[in-house]
Amino acid sequence: MQKQFNRTSSASGFSLLELMIAMAVTLVLASLATSLLAGSMNTRARENRKSDALADAQRAMYVMSREIANSGFGLTNNGLVAVDSGLSSIRVRANLNAFEGQTTSNAVSDNDEDVKYLLYTGGGDSYILRLDVNTGAKTTVLANRVDSLRIRYFADKVTYTSGNCDIQIPSGTTEVTQKSDAKYVVIALCVQLPAQGTAGSAGYQPQSQLQLISDVTLRNADLINY
């Protein structure tokens, strides 16, 4: 006798409810992943911007400090040109080849012997410019990410603390009234880092600032407190 068996497949598809649950879970996971990725991108963008700004500002500060320190070399004064030296600019002169016996060794007429630094603002951006006066005011951009430049002039070394894009000095300490009396210069520059992302969102980076300060003793200085 021949027996027949009815076989029914045990495999079946998702029900509508199961499919909807699976889609909801997938959407939640995708949303979380997107949020984490956006946060990571914002953090990375801020760190990249900060690193670039720091490198730019440090390069400018190094060049300025080195050349300002030479101000007055081979001269009988401190080398500062008062009319071009103020809160956001400074002009320094030095006879760098004074002892080399060249035809120009008795004058400040060679390249890099008469230099001016200033903060220039234009088109919504700020730059630190270096002007070599003896080469027809050849201009070099030292830093294109600097938002503030403050230069302070003192007769002697001073104790200071960092301020808001500037320095703070103790009560009773004052700057020189005549630039020819300056022997000690303090330079403070500041870079504003804009907010990254949207407030309240993952990885939001609020606005912040990066500040560098350098103090320089002029070459011909004889500081009583140094």
Q: 209: part of which helix (H) or strand (E)? A: strand 208-217
Looking at residue 80, the DSSP 8-state letter turns out to be: B
Q: Which tokens is 73 given?
A: 């070399």
Boundaries of every domain in the chain: 36-217
Each residue's pLDDT tens digit, 186-220? 999 998 877 776 777 666 777 778 899 999 999 77
Contact between 70 and 219 under an 8 Å Cβ cutoff? The reply is yes
Above pLDDT 70, what percent of the chain? Answer: 79
Q: Which H or E element spans position 51? A: helix 16-69
pTM given for the model: 0.74
